[in-house]
Structure 1
Amino acid sequence: MSTKLSDAIKTVNRALITCGSLGALTFVSLPVVAQDAETIEEVQVLGIRGSLKAAIDTKREANAVVDAISAEDVGKFPDKNVAESLSRITGVAVSREYGEGEKITVRGSGPSVNRTLLNGQTVASADWFILDEPGRSFNYTLLPSVLVSGLEVYKSPMASIDEGSIGGTVIVKTNRPLELDANTVSVAVEGQYSEKAEQWDPQLSAQYSWKNEAESFGVLVSAVQQERSVLREGLEVLGWRGDDDGYLVPSHIGAAKFEQQRDRTSLFLSAQFAPTEELSFTFNALNSEMEAKNQNQNFLILPNNDRADVIANSGLTSGSVTQSSVEGTGDIFIDYINRISSTETESYDLSMDYETEAFSIHGVIGQTKASGGTLRETSWEYTNSNADYTYDLRSPGVTTDPLTTDAAAFGAGWIWGGEKPTSDEETYAQIDLDFPVEFGVVTNLKTGLKIREAERTQDRKVYSWHGPDTIDASLGGSYLDYVFATCPTLATCGLNDKGNVNIGAPMGGTLTQQIEQNRSAMEAMAFDSLNGVPADYAVSRELAQNWAVTEDITALYVQADFEAERYRGNLGLRYVETQQQSSGWEFSADSWGFYTLDRDWLTPAQMEWVSEDNDYSEVLPSLNVNYDLNDEMQLRFAAARVMARQNWNQLSPYSTYGSLNQADPKGQMGNPQLKPMLADQFDVSYEWYYADASLLAVTFFHKDIDSYLTSHVITEERYDVQTDSMVAVDFTQPLNGQGGSTDGVELSLQHDFGGFGVQANYTYVDANADMARDIATPGSGLVEGASEHMYNLTGYYENDTFGARLMYNYRTEWYKGLHFNGDELWNDSYGQWDLSASYNVTENISLVAEAINLTDEEVVEYNTSKERVMSIYENGRRFVLGARMSF
């Protein structure tokens, strides 16, 4: 047991003794996790109609503003992870950068200010993609939907639920063995066809639950194994650059092909022991791992490097050079990027419930940790600096001379690589007490204490094939020099042995015809040998991207539940203390920010690991009131103060930047002194449960935000290894800025006609920042994650043997934050059709068919104005065929 966990348990034990001796002050809770038993019994209803009714019942009986999806409902969606299931809920939107849902937005609040709890507890998360910065958003690709018994989205908080969300808190519930029949078995065998990759991949899942005859001990085991072949092709523009001439010019324009083989394995174990009717113990363990070997190739032109000629020959759209041509001096190059990545999450918790007529105690100790990132990267660049090219981004197309299939025309450029592992860990302990009382309308007094100790880290190492002693001295130079002398063009050393390939990007011209990547040949030269000469490279730590942020949180809460003839609800107060420490390297600039680990090369004269503290405390009151107008209609009112801590990378002392081989390079850096985002929020809702599986609901919500992030620009020099020179980089650093407000309306309709039915929901969000819009200050006056309009439409049909759903999910454009190069990044409006169908062969066996992204929609991103396109990606359709069995 870790020291942190041991100390936390001791603290909770002391708190429990104190609470017992101060009974008059002990006010709180069987938390949300302890309510699973009632909810799980409700969601085990077969059929589409039954599952929708169970979700409605959860919403109706909740003592807060809640939307839910039941276990059966999750199984009926064509969703392979929880994020995609959540996208069907009113007010919830999902990002689909690689064709699969990854991160969610709730009521216009972006992914970093929403929380996801597994059975009421934090789940650690680490991203696999090297350009993703460690944030607080949960990566849902690690949580297959088949592990889930139900989902609840709390849009209004209660004091007994963990703080940390501005938009909403997602509680993911898993099955428990004592709540299922003994020897319950479910198995799914499916195949998924990815149209872009033209590949079938297996998807397998199984769950077994057992309990003894006395129903005092049970064990449940779930396992999921999913493979997916990802192919994403598209147009990419890697930034827009301005200058004193008043024009905005694209820095890079390319046709990109991204390929990835995902292999995801998830295991879940739940064991319960109930030695008496009053006492029970539950142990949960989750391990979810995804291996992601990926590669990218991208032929690019660099208009900003030829800025004067580009502007002279330009076609303008509102000051943006969206069309131009260059003769004889154009820069063209190809990047071949190969990465081995992974991400793994582990969670373990042990809970105890003791319930008597006089009081109830709920306690939990646990730990969650994640590791992942890019474990190895190697990238190759071949160039031509005397090219002709013409581009037009209005109807995208790029034509080049020489052709990008002329391997002999592209000569040696550079080789680079490295690794960027990250980790996330939290140890927690909590105790909750619930005292039934008869004090006027007050029915329960609840109180609790929770301690969380978390740490998020990032490491960054770079590989330098041009470093010293990378080749035998008799051969001279470096290993990189030897490689490029031996393989001076793409036509040598077998680099073009795989021939040419068409990049199926939504663009015309010759740039989509490319030399196919020969990954095995390049990696052999980079990590093995070339013509018998051993490969070698220096390994250096990039000091500015190595950091650690720790966070110690202590939370106390008091909550009173009340109920009378026509109304019910809760009133609570949560007090939270947060102690953060951000650590990183402070170093002199004489080694360009690098420290070589495996040889005597780059060592800064001054290098010290330094830390900076940032402490704060908050008081968070909450009120939820539900009033029954009659047996079918009810009104809800909720008011609360909520908080969300800033992203880990923003709190760190990091700095990162884009390519230095362009004019006016830009980057980002962190700020360890950022304070949390706070908001006062209000909800008023009307709910009409006019039939057994039917609902009409209208909700108005308001959020008064006290501080959005803004930024300022700091210019610092960075070393360009290719030119052996220092280059000025404009870094954007976040600051706490002015606040703003978010107002919105949610409309939800669900109607069952008996055998078939419809679901429809719509969300309007008006999110505004008080800070004036200043184009010179990236991100100013903008609210991340907010789409003005979102809606879902579902039609379903079901009889004893057949069931089907057709679904459409849509959201208007939204601001996604800053691109890695510092530009503002927006996602254009996106809508997607999905279909699922099942046929019951027997009472226990069903055949399933699913289709995702039926109309083959594209993901389009742009920089502030739509004419400044940043990317147009095609992920393609996916189809699933399989069988599901339950006994």
Structure 2
Amino acid sequence: MSNSLFKKGMLASSIALILSGSLSAAAIAQDAQLAQEEMEVIEVKGIRSSLKENLNAKRFSSNVSDVITSEDIGKFPDKNVAETLSRITGVAVSREFGEGEKISIRGAGPKYNRTLLNGQTVGTADWFILDEANRSFNYTMLPSVIVKGLEVNKSPVASIDEGSIGGTIVLKTRRPLDMDANSVSLSLEGQYSETSGETDPQLAGMYSWKNDDETLGVMVSAVKQERNLERQGFEVLGWVESDDDEYLVPRNIGAPKFIQSRERETLFATLQYAPNDNLLMTLNYLDSRMDVDNQNSNLINFAFGDRAEIITNATKVKNGAILASSAGGNYAYNYINRVSSTETDQVHLDIDYQGDGYSLNFELGKTAASGGTYRETSWEYVAVGSGYDYDLTGTPNVNVGVNAADGNNFAAGWIWGGAKPTTDEETFAQADLTYDVEFGPFTAIKTGIKYRQAERTQGRHAYSWHAPFADGGANSDNYLDHIFDTCPTLATCDLDANGATSIDAAVTGNITEQVSHNRELMEEIAFNGLNGISASYAIHDNLAEIWEVEEDILALYVQGNFSGEGFRGNVGMRYVSTEQTSYGYEFSGDSWGLNTINGDWLTPSVLNWVSQDNDYAEFLPSFNIAFDLTEEQILRIGAARVMARQNWADISSSETFGSLTGGRGTGSRGNPNLAPTISNQFDLSWEWYYNEASMLSVAYFAKDLSSLRSTVTVTEDRYDQENEVFVPVDFAQPGNGLGGTIQGIELGLQHDFGGFGVSANYTYTDASADEQRDTNQVGSGLVEGTSKNMLNLMAYYENDAYQARIMYNYRSDWYKGLHFNGDELFNDAFGQWDASASYNVNEYVTLTLEAVNLTDEEIVEYNTNEERIMSIYSNGRRYVAGIRVNF
């Protein structure tokens, strides 16, 4: 709404005076009229001022929530909103590639929370080929500079969209009619990343205009960011059991280097038109694109038949896991090249009409996202019979039986590849009516209807360079043979032309000295040709991984807002009907699950596109009340029934599995008949605002969950193309399991000493599943995304010229779900220090300096027990220096 329609500052002050019994309703109306005619907008600046604004918004909210203002977002050392959210009590963020991507709230994992932009969905299509299609928003697509403020709603309100167990995040963007005419903001930053050694530019600009009558306004914001990302690490891509013994043997031990060039461009524009004091029309447009081509090189073992030897030579064993041993077998280079991108857009029309004693709101729009890996090649060169020894206790130590920095020691192996494009679309329309009433304590009745039509798709291609030549074309039988006849080792064809490289990560041994990845030459050979022979490869639909899910969602709600002497709140009911249809291929096994689309090499005798329906409806009541115990103390109580739909991949008809080397594989598959997760929850909080920039709070939350996602194992044979045999694959399949509970305590303290201050919050969460824990059944008895302990600390100092703060963000270990190979995956405890400082040259120009991950913390993942390491990744430190200009 424009300033002529609504004054938030006046409303907050009026509420405070009403609650203290110091102001009559008539006086409020008179003051509000004077405010519209005379009051100037007071701009909030500085760390202390923004913290005051945050507390003010939290204090006068009707439900349990937290708020961060635009000033706070601008001053955090955060390049996207997820990292900003990590400062809030009860919120945790994942940083797999060193930048915040997905969030958990109050023990509920990323798929159990929703993020809304100005109250509406933003489509998300993940770029990484190993990511599953989930309902969490990928915050790398949304730079924090375009956001005015955000709210984390921890206790539900009937008028806010359903779909969250932990909480609903509402991001709010700037609006031109709320800003000064001809406002300009520009920033130029340079970001240095330690691991890549590169300095990348980041540009942002915003311009806002409105006419003298404040009836028409336009705001445009644009962001361009580049980042040369490099992640080095250590991986174990599976712990393998066997019916023949009682041991767990690590498979595919490697030291990878991941390199990515990120180019992100975001455009956000808002057009507002207010022809009179009663009507306001707002049109928002978001377009965000990110090119994320990447490559991964890994010196990795493929344990062909060496299980018995590893067991015989084992030197360290714990809980059945062989943590140190030696064996023969093959070590190979696995070089992966990916062409990847992701983009999202949203068009959103918002119409507000203020009548006499009532208000109407109409919203409609569409969001669409597309992305994924559009081309992937994976090259393998093998040191046959090289052997290796390893010790995974402490800092991992791995030694390969050859000099891994000499390409002559690695002979031709295999080439494979594919593509995995995804889309995410939603069309939405809603209408809301708010009617002012005087009925007992009730002051307003809200009601509304909303319709959403969503569609999520995934494609999957497999490339085969060993398909027969269509017209001869070479002395070799196929193009794969031609490549390896011409380039029999890494030392030929200039495949080692980039020289040697060292892996700088938490691993020792000669595995760290490797042959550098020659991406450009490998792409040229794979897709263009070699020695006058044009590239020839078959493109197949990988039928089991191609799917589509459609949802039609109808929601209706009614909500009553009430207030009285020393209390206020709301009570409501939301009804939601969901109709799901999952599509996938039904096919015969005579073509190994492949269908060649650029030839007739492989075609299944049976191929049908089939569907499965799954419909359900829920009534979701909610209640929130806030009592003013004193002028400074508030007691809040909330109770609600909430629901979260299962991940797209979980309700799809897809399946995927990892490497089939060693004669057995593991994987995962979907289940279109999954029910949503339901939670009955209770919130209780006490807040003491003992001065204008200080607060002490304690909150208790409890969630009684039903139908948590469980996992069953189904074993079926799948074809191993490289070895041309069928092998058994153990598929982990989700099911409608038992429920569970999540409960916890949040403690928060914010204290301002005048010029400097501190902020600290701690969250304890206890999550348990009703299903019994069975270590022989993956995923059983576990709740995803829950860290038992989370801690945030901040200290700041500021005067008229300088501002500085240092921050620490910590969470204890948590269960992340199933690895792409079907193993349980846990993240070890992670803590990160960040800092920022700024200097105001004058009222228009500010110099900034930021540091991210000051202590160079590593991300550590493991399988069930900490000694069964899965990965150790180092993203390194990042430093950002910049200049901001505002006028």
Aligned residue in 2 for 1:140: 139
TM superposition shift of 1:301: 1.7
Aligned residue in 2 for 1:335: 334
TM superposition shift of 1:358: 2.3
Alignment-mate amino acid for residue 754 of structure 2: G
Contact 2:756 2:797 in 1 (8 A): yes
Aligned residue in 2 for 1:158: 157
Once the two structures are superposed, the pairs formed by residues 394-543 of structure 1 within 5 Å of their partners are: 394=393, 395-469=395-469, 472-473=472-473, 475-543=475-543
Contact 2:304 2:330 in 1 (8 A): no
TM superposition shift of 1:497: 1.2
Q: Structure 2 unaligned runs (5+)?
A: 1-35
Aligned residue in 2 for 1:117: 116
TM superposition shift of 1:822: 0.4
Alignment-mate amino acid for residue 693 of structure 1: A
Alignment-mate amino acid for residue 280 of structure 2: S
Aligned residue in 1 for 2:568: 568
Identity of aligned residues (%): 57
Aligned residue in 2 for 1:85: 84
**Equivalents in 2 of 1:749, 1:357: separation in Å?**
42
Cα deviation 1:792-826 (Å, max 9, x = unaligned):
00000000000001000000000000000000000
Contact 1:251 1:304 in 2 (8 A): no
Aligned residue in 1 for 2:246: 246
Q: CA 1:44 to 1:593, structure 2 compared with 1: closer, same or farther past 3 Å? A: farther
Aligned residue in 1 for 2:759: 759
Contact 1:234 1:255 in 2 (8 A): yes
Contact 2:256 2:298 in 1 (8 A): yes
Range 855-864 or range 485-494, more displaced: 485-494
Alignment-mate amino acid for residue 172 of structure 2: K
- The TM-score with structure 2 as length reference comes to 0.95
Cα deviation 1:650-680 (Å, max 9, x = unaligned):
1000000001123421000000000000000
**Equivalents in 2 of 1:719, 1:421: separation in Å?**
23
The reply to whether residue 313 of structure 1 matches residue 322 of structure 2 is no
Aligned residue in 1 for 2:204: 205
TM superposition shift of 1:42: 9.2
Aligned residue in 2 for 1:653: 653
SS of residue matched to 1:497: coil
Contact 2:663 2:727 in 1 (8 A): no
**Equivalents in 1 of 2:434, 2:42: separation in Å?**
25
**Equivalents in 2 of 1:207, 1:742: separation in Å?**
42
Alignment-mate amino acid for residue 358 of structure 2: F
Alignment-mate amino acid for residue 134 of structure 1: A
SS of residue matched to 1:457: strand
Range 161-170 or range 237-246, more displaced: 237-246
**Equivalents in 1 of 2:367, 2:666: separation in Å?**
36
Aligned residue in 2 for 1:100: 99
Range 77-86 or range 236-245, more displaced: 236-245
Alignment-mate amino acid for residue 96 of structure 2: E
Contact 1:195 1:877 in 2 (8 A): yes
SS of residue matched to 2:381: strand
Once the two structures are superposed, the pairs formed by residues 224-263 of structure 1 within 5 Å of their partners are: 224-244=223-243, 245-263=245-263
Contact 2:720 2:726 in 1 (8 A): yes
Alignment-mate amino acid for residue 257 of structure 2: K
**Equivalents in 1 of 2:633, 2:696: separation in Å?**
9
TM superposition shift of 1:351: 1.1
Give the alignment's Cα RMSD to 1 decimal: 1.1
Alignment-mate amino acid for residue 323 of structure 1: A
**Equivalents in 2 of 1:664, 1:637: separation in Å?**
53
TM superposition shift of 1:303: 4.5
SS of residue matched to 1:122: coil
TM superposition shift of 1:357: 2.2
**Equivalents in 1 of 2:306, 2:268: separation in Å?**
56
**Equivalents in 2 of 1:85, 1:478: separation in Å?**
53
The reply to whether residue 608 of structure 1 matches residue 608 of structure 2 is yes
**Equivalents in 2 of 1:612, 1:321: separation in Å?**
44
The reply to whether residue 325 of structure 1 matches residue 326 of structure 2 is yes
SS of residue matched to 1:544: helix
Aligned residue in 2 for 1:58: 57
**Equivalents in 2 of 1:473, 1:496: separation in Å?**
27
SS of residue matched to 2:674: coil
SS of residue matched to 1:522: helix
**Equivalents in 1 of 2:329, 2:468: separation in Å?**
33
Cα deviation 1:493-546 (Å, max 9, x = unaligned):
111111111011211100010011111111111011111111111111000011
Aligned residue in 1 for 2:636: 636
Aligned residue in 2 for 1:834: 834
Alignment-mate amino acid for residue 319 of structure 1: G
Aligned residue in 2 for 1:174: 173
**Equivalents in 2 of 1:853, 1:471: separation in Å?**
56
TM superposition shift of 1:103: 0.3
Alignment-mate amino acid for residue 390 of structure 1: D
- The TM-score with structure 1 as length reference comes to 0.95
SS of residue matched to 1:310: helix
**Equivalents in 2 of 1:663, 1:620: separation in Å?**
49
Aligned residue in 1 for 2:749: 749
Aligned residue in 1 for 2:345: 346
Aligned residue in 2 for 1:219: 218
TM superposition shift of 1:468: 2.4
**Equivalents in 2 of 1:644, 1:42: separation in Å?**
40
Once the two structures are superposed, the pairs formed by residues 256-405 of structure 1 within 5 Å of their partners are: 256-303=256-303, 305-314=305-314, 315-326=316-327, 329-394=328-393, 395-405=395-405
SS of residue matched to 2:695: strand
TM superposition shift of 1:405: 1.5
**Equivalents in 1 of 2:486, 2:294: separation in Å?**
27
Cα deviation 1:144-164 (Å, max 9, x = unaligned):
000100010000010000000
SS of residue matched to 1:475: coil
Alignment: residue pair count: 846
Q: Structure 1 unaligned runs (5+)?
A: 1-36
TM superposition shift of 1:404: 1.1
Alignment-mate amino acid for residue 494 of structure 2: G
SS of residue matched to 1:341: strand
The reply to whether residue 679 of structure 1 matches residue 679 of structure 2 is yes
Aligned residue in 1 for 2:772: 772
Aligned residue in 1 for 2:20: none
TM superposition shift of 1:212: 0.3
Contact 2:706 2:739 in 1 (8 A): yes
Once the two structures are superposed, the pairs formed by residues 596-745 of structure 1 within 5 Å of their partners are: 596-745=596-745
**Equivalents in 2 of 1:300, 1:785: separation in Å?**
29
Cα deviation 1:113-134 (Å, max 9, x = unaligned):
0000000000100101000011
TM superposition shift of 1:384: 2.3
Contact 2:302 2:661 in 1 (8 A): no
SS of residue matched to 2:433: strand
Cα deviation 1:218-240 (Å, max 9, x = unaligned):
00000000001100000000010
Contact 2:187 2:205 in 1 (8 A): yes
TM superposition shift of 1:623: 0.1
The reply to whether residue 127 of structure 1 matches residue 117 of structure 2 is no
Contact 1:471 1:478 in 2 (8 A): no
Q: CA 1:822 to 1:211, structure 2 compared with 1: closer, same or farther past 3 Å? A: same
Contact 1:851 1:877 in 2 (8 A): yes
TM superposition shift of 1:302: 3.3
**Equivalents in 2 of 1:851, 1:347: separation in Å?**
32
The reply to whether residue 552 of structure 1 matches residue 558 of structure 2 is no
TM superposition shift of 1:44: 4.6
**Equivalents in 1 of 2:42, 2:465: separation in Å?**
58
SS of residue matched to 2:329: strand
Cα deviation 1:747-784 (Å, max 9, x = unaligned):
00000000000000000000000110001111100010
